[in-house]
Amino acid sequence: MDSLEIKGGTPLNGEVKVSGAKNAVLPILAATLLTREPCIIRNVPDLADVKTMCQILESLGASTKIDGDTITVQAAKVRDFADYDLVRKMRGSLCVLGPLLARLGQATVSMPGGCVIGTRPVDLHRKAMEALGAKVEIDKGYIIAKARKLTGGEMFLGGRAGPTVLGTANAMMAATLAEGITVIEHAACEPEVVDLGKFLNNIGAQIQGLGSPTLTITGVKELGGAEHEVIPDRIEAATYAIAGVATKGEVTLVGARPDHMKAVNEKLRESGVKVEQSKGKLTFKRGRGLHSVHITTLPHPGFPTDVQAQMMAFMTQTPGISIITERVFESRFGHVAEMERLGAEITIEGPSAIVHGVQKLSGGQVMANDLRASAALVIAGMVAKGTTQVNRIYHLDRGYENLDVKLKKLGANVKRVKQGWL
């Protein structure tokens, strides 16, 4: 198992190209199960999660071909059983449920795995499938859904912490082939959900209201093939932007979508960061002084939970006290104890982390416990004096394309090593 060894104290400077969005491409790949025709997906990041999704598609009977950043999928014949050994590896694999049910009238999908960041029940997925006329049960760790015919219906997908992103994706995909009209209220508005909707419309679906809390889907009898380019990854973009300013550098993002990053950019500006926009590029650098900020994570267009940990690493470097409140996942402060090993001063009070700015962090060994926590620890390591080793970086490989390579190009002193302190 690899680790990342980081010698801190070097500012990041230069340009970095933003890869395709992980959270968009996974449901889009799942959506190819809805059609017999070939689908060509472009701007696909080279990630462990993408490879896992391709393995899942192949286990279901589809063929996949990877050529650089392009994946061609054809699901001429499909099986209805998604096995535990593959599905357990990531939460996103649950999104094969909707397309399999719509295509075959039945689906058996293992309960998924993924990062341990809090309760992520499948109740809203079940509710969505039942609203379309399916019978759903959970037995021996599998979700079993059956329907002689899916029919349009109305559903409300608001959960305890807001709308469900994967649940909205599953509902959208299943409804495309349902008879009649489906209305989804309190649908997720994330850019990745919009991108999935655009792909579905490209292959012949009829979805209206993308980007709004209300989606109206008119079912069609069949779907065809299409080409689609995945949107840039707003979470990756935010991670590099924060890494740049945390290390007192200047980073330019190539291909980032400013309309997808409004909440992050606004908080960075509030903290004293200059955000400059030019054609196809966003540049981030420190202003005259930094300021503490208060952040509350919320569903889109609020501040994304997937950037909370990275922002916390940056807040250790700002004077004063910052309060970060997590309203999406209740167990997403697993990185706090590891940051404290590097000298951070952070207190947890209920759903909030109180971050005291410190003059410096010191290198040490830390353990990553989820994808975004891993990125935050890397940022903290690049800020810290001395050497930091981030262990269990397989999380990073799930969600960041060539992270260590991109960081080196920006000037970071990082290298991939075998597990163990060097």
- Catalytic residue numbers? 115
Structural contact between residues 325 and 352, judged by C-beta atoms closer than 8 angstroms? yes
Name the one residue in this structure whose structure tokens are 């980081």. Answer: 6
Helix or strand holding residue 387 (H, E) = strand 387-391
Burial class of residue 30 (count of CB atoms within 10 Å of its CB; 0-12, 13-18, 19+): buried
Among candidate residues 401, 403, 398, 399, the one with its CA nearest the CA of residue 381: 403
Helix or strand holding residue 270 (H, E) = helix 262-270
CA distances to 318, 352, 355 from 323, in Å: 12, 7, 6
Among candidate residues 228, 401, 190, the one with its CA nearest the CA of residue 305: 190
Q: 112: cis peptide before it, omega within 30°?
A: no
Lookup: tokens for 253: 């993002």
Structural contact between residues 19 and 256, judged by C-beta atoms closer than 8 angstroms? no
Structural contact between residues 375 and 396, judged by C-beta atoms closer than 8 angstroms? yes
Residues 6+ positions from 369 with CB-CB distance below 8 Å: 115, 116, 334, 335, 338, 392, 395
Name the one residue in this structure whose structure tokens are 């697993």. Answer: 334
